[in-house]
Amino acid sequence: MTALSDSAAASGGAVRARARPMSWAWVGVVPFFVFALMFLILPTLYLVVGAFQDAQGNFTLANIGKLLHPSILSAYWISIKVSTASAVLGAAVGFFIAYAVVLGHVPRWMRPAVMTFSGVASNFAGIPLAFAFLATLGRTGLVTVLLVKYFGFNLYATGFNLLSFWGLTLTYLYFQIPLMVLILAPALDGLKREWREASSILGATGWQYWRHVAFPILWPSILGTTLLLFANAFGAVATAYALTGSSLNIVTILLYAQIRGDVLHDQNLGYALALGMILITGLSNGAYIWLRARSERWLR
């Protein structure tokens, strides 16, 4: 009887499993996958294939070999330096802003105001951002003129140039700092009050708490977000092109020139340049995902 009962129960469970209506929840993610396929995966595969072809469509490694040309290596190096500088500075300033609005004793209205501004500013880039900085810190910009008029200080006499390495880095900071604030604020929220109380009970000072408890927990988030800022700056093209034109030889502007056409037009070389950028940003984003997973284990 027991065997028959178990068999009947199993049969009934199988019937109920077959009768369960199919879930249509997956339909909601179809647009995302279609969008990713059309505008991310297929274009990426297209340029990867094009990087190993010549103008006639034949297989070649010449495009990859051209990446070792000194001018191209210099473009990659300048892009890496600009991205690193804007990522490190953006992470440092963004951390202190996020700390102030999350854990600092600031008025309650300040956090939603800062987070709202950060959400807008982190997406403000391209030609509008370049124009805003030219109108503000250009040679005849508002701040430049006011400094000369009221303080007798000529910013450009100090060697500053908005159309230079530090000028582009400063412009990138406009969207790098808010992005750091947006990503790091939840990590700071995840620091449990019990950890601070336990360290105080054990006699730890505030500095010892941050050194031995908070920073080790936040470090993967901080480093991972810095890598994300690096990738964000490394792939930016519209802001750099609108601000500096061809006066600063960074890889995104060189790629734009190769694809759109100039006296050195070589579309397949442009694909190879893009492939190199994909590898660099892919490694950076992969490290960010890994570090974020490590951080979330503590902040759950």
Q: Is the pLDDT of residue 9 over 60?
A: no
> What pLDDT score does 37 carry?
93
Residue partners of 269: CB distance under 8 A and separation at least 6: 63, 66, 258
Is 15 inside a domain boundary? no
Going by pLDDT thresholds of 50, 70 and 90, the confidence category of residue 4 is very low
Going by pLDDT thresholds of 50, 70 and 90, the confidence category of residue 277 is very high
> What pLDDT score does 174 carry?
95
> pTM for this structure?
0.85
> What pLDDT score does 127 carry?
87
Is 246 inside a domain boundary? yes
Structure tokens at 261: 């056409």
> What pLDDT score does 194 carry?
87
CATH for 46: 1.10.3720.10
Is 10 inside a domain boundary? no
- The residue count of the chain comes to 300
Is 164 inside a domain boundary? yes
52 within 8 A of 63, measured Cβ to Cβ: yes
Q: Is the pLDDT of residue 232 over 50?
A: yes
> What pLDDT score does 20 carry?
64
Nearest to 277 by CA among 75, 123, 129, 58: 75
Mean pLDDT of 202-208: 86
pLDDT in tens, 88-126: 999 999 999 999 999 888 898 999 999 999 999 998 888
Is 100 inside a domain boundary? yes
- What's the CA gap between 196 and 194, in Å, rounded? 5
Is 6 inside a domain boundary? no
Going by pLDDT thresholds of 50, 70 and 90, the confidence category of residue 135 is very high
Number of domains in the chain: 1
209 within 8 A of 199, measured Cβ to Cβ: yes
The helix, strand and coil proportions of the chain, stated in percent and rounded to the nearest 5, come to 75, 0, 20
Range of the domain at 200: 27-299
Mean pLDDT of 245-259: 82
- What's the CA gap between 71 and 60, in Å, rounded? 21
Is 18 inside a domain boundary? no
Is 11 inside a domain boundary? no
Q: Is the pLDDT of residue 175 over 90?
A: yes
Q: Is the pLDDT of residue 12 over 60?
A: no
Q: Is the pLDDT of residue 14 over 70?
A: no
Poorest-pLDDT segment among 22-31, 79-88, 245-254, 256-265:
256-265
